[in-house]
Amino acid sequence: MQHTATALDDLIDEQFGPRLEAEGFQRVRSRRWVRSTKAPIREVVHVGSAKHGSHSSRWGLSFDFVPHESGLHPAWHNTNSTALRDLRIDPIDWSDESLARVYRFSGDDPSARSVASAARATVESATQWFERVSDVKSTLPLFEEARQDSESRFDFNHYAQQRLAHAFVLGHTGQTSRGFAELAIWLDDATRSLPTASKVEFHDLLANM
């Protein structure tokens, strides 16, 4: 018998919630938890839908000073409820299926055991990754690792928000020239088609950090 969407949400929250809350995370909505003890960084754990009706956990970092694009203009995600994964870890993207499977479970008829197994693996891996983060500067090696990751099906630039975030993190840590170089590539992406006035808005935000 298949789970209803509500029953599945409840099962995910049941298995992930207590484990994450024990680590200081706050549930902000179903399947999503945020920890904000390292301002201006927020640590995010999320369980999302994947292929063939399965579900997979993922995690990442949200930066209060990094904008995102909304309606051709900069917008902000600087609260727990609006936090985005500016820098992301998505096990579902890993080319090593045996590793990716650890964080995934069926969405059709998942057992509490399979969801609990994914929850345990997620909390262990995510908290170990988060332990490497102490301040904004400490995230720079994580960005570089994401750039050089050859084990993912998608490269760093597949997720446009990562490049934008990297630009602002570089600017925040005093690497202004590199930050503007990254921003220029993001702004000139042909798939985005931002008008000149919008490009100026993003440029000015970085310039005025």
Span 84-100, pLDDT tens digits: 999 999 887 765 555 66
Domain count, the chain: 1
* This prediction's pTM: 0.91
Token pair 């209803």: residue: 4
The average pLDDT across 60-74 equals 96
Three state DSSP letters for 20-82: HHCCCCEEEECCEEEEEEECCEEEEEEEEECHHHEEEEEEEEEECCCEEEECCEEEECCCCCC
pLDDT digits over 97-113, tens only? 556 677 888 766 667 88
Give the pLDDT confidence score for residue 2 in this predicted structure: 46
pLDDT one-digit tens code per residue, 39-62: 999 999 999 887 767 888 999 999
More confident residue, 193 or 3: 193
Domain range enclosing 66: 5-207
Check residue 204 and give its pLDDT. Answer: 98
pLDDT at 180 over 90: yes
**pLDDT class of 1 with cuts at 50, 70, 90:** very low
**Percent of residues, the chain, with pLDDT higher than 70:** 90
The pLDDT mean for the chain works out to 90
Say whether pLDDT at 16 is over 90: yes
Q: CA torsion 125→83→57→48, rounded to 10°?
A: 180
